[in-house]
A and B are shown apart, each in its own frame.
Chain A
Amino acid sequence: MKRLVLLLVAILLTGCVEKEIIDDINIEVAVGYDKSEDGKGYRGTVLFQQFQPDQSVENVTFTGGGKLRQDLLLEVTKQSSEPVVTGGLKLAIFGPELVKEGIYDLVDSFQRDPSIGARLFLATSEGKSGDLLKGEYGSRGNSKYIYNLINHNIEKRDIPKTNLHLAARDFYQKGKDLFLPRLKQTGQDKVEIVGISLFQEDKEVDILPVEKMFFFKLLVDKYSEGNFDVKTSEDARAAIQSIRSKHQIKVLNRRAKINIEIYGIIREYTGKVLTPEIIKEVEKKLEDQVERESVKLLKRFQELGIDPVGFGQMTKQQHRNFDFKKWEDEYKQLTFDVKCDVVIGETGVIE
């Protein structure tokens, strides 16, 4: 008798929570936000994936507007034949006008929603983010395409590590500012990374062009697998690959000492013979270039009053009772001393 009651309870109680069957819901996989035409609130574009019988993915977008993220969901739900869930969101893109006004409210709503993961990529776009999401990229769906685009550029190329958690952490961390990768739609089926948006608080204040991204990543993150070209003479260039890098930053008496260590392999050389002297020269050239460009970048950040490298945070870690108000003035007077050390380990399989 007792067992029967338990069994009954077990069966009856399973129906207590609403079921969500994967075929009967629309999973939001990417979202783009733009400023609305009338200037109040924003216009959002939500991207869903519809899996076709031949295993390809159809991109379906809905747009809606509002003042809150939930307004958008509400409007999209009105247009969608299936209920909308946000658990699979992988990508959020902010349009150019919106980032200038601030994205804090939206980032906050992502953090507040328990079903949204911390690995969500945030990015800015040149041109309307809605148009970017409405393209047709690859056969695995736009969201997957752009997600992978950013992801492998983080792992192997020049975008510093980023995701929702890291962006939010940089935003909340005193003495460090936020940066996000910047995307551009170059054709109906093409999208590319065109730089890094630098933020002050939650507003975009500057855009780092692609050429500077290598030096930026050396300063804020470490390389595990990068590459870079060095021009040695008029007609000779060397491609350095598998770059691994480390940086060490110390702030003492208004002087920031930055040590960058780079280890790489030469994969391509367009000159005649690759002698040890030329390798030395390549190393020297790269060192000079890194030192020069890094200082330029840091000076630029200083002028703009932003601190994506996190000098403030690092100085705080070395001082008790740290005063961030005072630091703002001190940062303006900070001098930078960049030392770079390049080691070329191998030169490929031929001499």
Chain B
Amino acid sequence: MNGIIEERKQSIVLKKAGMENSGITCDKDSVSGSVSQRACVYCGARVVLNPITDAFHIVHGPIGCASYTWDIRGSLTSGDDIFRTSFSTDLRERDVIFGGEKKLEAAIEEVVLKYQPRLIFVYATCIVGVIGDDVEAVCKSISEKYAMHVIPVKSPGFSGNKATGYKMACNAIMHLLKSYRNQPVQKGINILGDFNLAGEMWIIKSYMKEMGIPVISTFTGDSSYEKLIKAPSAQLNVVQCAGSSMYLANLMYEEFGIPYIKVSFFGVEDTTESLLKIADTLKDENARKKAEEFCAEQSERVEAIIAKYRKNLEGKRAAVFVGGGFKAISLIHQFTALGMKTVVVGTQTGKKDEYEVIEKIADKGTVILDDANPAELEHYMVEMKADILVGGVKERPLAYKLGIAFCDHNHERKHPLAGFDGVLNFVEEINSSINHPVWDFIKSEVSSYE
């Protein structure tokens, strides 16, 4: 392809027959000038923590960081909704010169005195370290003064990529949990890496209820201070979005001895497998029995509907560009189940082991890219004749401009894609975009009157 940046060439591989583990370059800083689709450390941290519904999320930095992340994600709440309000210290020129520490201190104190919150997160953005603000010290002194938790989140944008931000968020959560480590173990699990987009956490919890497995804490979809602090008492951590939360699962294993398993609730196959895995890990035969019955019943319901769609979708070609590798893997499985081929697979921040799995399960000829840019996506979607792109909203207009259907699998969507209901939503969305009548008209040109 013409116009692939030299430094990017090792991040694009073509799946060949019998070849796996081609050693794609991933988990690296983005190449300057490449128009990466990635956001920054702060974004990663914010994504993970923001769904904590009753926390005050204070962004210490200039206004942009707060402005572009305010309430754009579809995490739902059953309780308080403080998380939907954006708080920023809105640093200005004079703060950059004289420092923003005093402003931050006054801001946190105002919130503490006015609302008596139990939990505040303070996100340190790019410039606060550079201008010499000691965010940690401010947080510590206010925490002690008012006997509550003000937790610094070290998230200057330049200090890594989005995945670094996930880690910083996990560290902030551990900062909180460590104060509550001595709790007797109780029956039940924590769910990690689900953000209750469009109520997905509620779907997963309803499955747990069906199986008779109590859910102690959720990270972080629809969670609250009171619920979070019970987490150390759980028997098991169940990790849905591995990219964002494996690190937390590891920390909780080290600190509290809570074992973890990776699961995925995208697709019938993955959902069923995950529910059984949870029951088995807990050695709960009753739960396993219930899960088997439940999944059989649900699969039957869902499969009957999918069967109708399958004839519409068989042989269609999908391109996938999502945040993490685990989700990409689930999507490949889902497309295979629909009789579709995945021809392009990319992620923003996939890990080496995830790319190995992707290469293993992908069809021959599939293009695999890490941290792709719009030029590469354009090129490969056209070359591989993709019928649909699964991605985030930034990629949507590109797909449309190329006359390619689109499915939003990112944080802004307003319908669930997880669980059995999610499978149906997914199939419906794929079908209604791929088989939409507009494509019949836009691809032909207007006849001339001349």
A and B are partners in one complex rather than unrelated chains = no
